[in-house]
Amino acid sequence: MSADDADAGGTPASEHANARQDVIAVDADDNEQGLVNRLEAHTGDGVRHRAFTALVFDAEGRILLAQRAADKRLWDTHWDGTVASHPEQDQSQEDATRQRLEEELGITPDQYDDLRVTDKFEYKRYYLNEGLEHEVCAVLKLTLDDVSMDPDPEEVGGLLWVDYEHLYEHPRLYRQLRLCPWFEIAMRRDLG
């Protein structure tokens, strides 16, 4: 088995639960081009597809960073701001975000009321010999009124509240966290 065919834990890529799912292929303007297998979209040269990243804040303006679980195929153990995934066909970015917040962190819609799309960008990044992301990524933000959570250990390795502006202004102080590229781009565009 080559590195292209397995994750860091040795699990074949085709055996990951989400390898059989589809993502929405899109053009550079985020116009739907049909469905593509999720594994196909993230290997070889990849296929541009729709994605989102959600930035979750508390009342003090701190961002919640979530460490990706160790058995994630791409960017395992890297820190994300806060959840990232792919909407399903006919699912809005907001609905997809609500779903992932609840599935990954146990955060329910009654804990916030300001979920909104704030940006969208395209990027392409390779990860070691494991695969890549080529996404048109929507950025959503929300502020938690209630910060209680119940993280799913299969999705989240750790949680960390960080002063958002300090993280942006002093990236060298945080480089040991190994931030996910889509989060770094979203933060740079948001605060740059």
- pLDDT at residue 14 greater than cutoff 70: no
- pLDDT at residue 2 greater than cutoff 50: no
Active site residues: 135
Q: Which amino acid is at 174?
A: Y
Confidence of residue 18 (pLDDT cuts 50, 70, 90): low
Query: Phi and psi dihedrals of 154, rounded to 5?
Result: -75, -15
- pLDDT at residue 7 greater than cutoff 70: no
Return the pLDDT at 3: 33
> Annotated binding site for Mn(2+): which residue ranges?
42, 49, 86, 133, 135
Confidence of residue 130 (pLDDT cuts 50, 70, 90): confident
What DSSP state is assigned to residue 5? G
Distance CA 11, CA 1 (A): 10
Return the pLDDT at 19: 59
- pLDDT at residue 15 greater than cutoff 70: no
> Annotated binding site: which residue ranges?
42, 49, 86, 104, 133, 135
Domain 3-191 has CATH 3.40.50.300: no
Distance CA 186, CA 192 (A): 10
- Among 91, 17, 96, 113, which Cα is nearest to 52's? 96
> Annotated binding site for Mg(2+): which residue ranges?
104
- Strand partners of residue 52: 85, 138
Average pLDDT, the chain: 91
Q: Which whole-number Å values give the CA distances from 6 to 11, 42, 59, 124, 158, in the listed order?
A: 5, 13, 41, 21, 23
- pLDDT at residue 10 greater than cutoff 50: no
Return the pLDDT at 9: 47
Q: What is the average pLDDT across 139-166? A: 97
- pLDDT at residue 185 greater than cutoff 60: yes
Distance CA 188, CA 166 (A): 12
- pLDDT at residue 174 greater than cutoff 90: yes
pTM of the model: 0.87
**Which stretches of 76-149 are assigned E, i.e. beta strand?**
79-80, 83-85, 116-127, 131-143
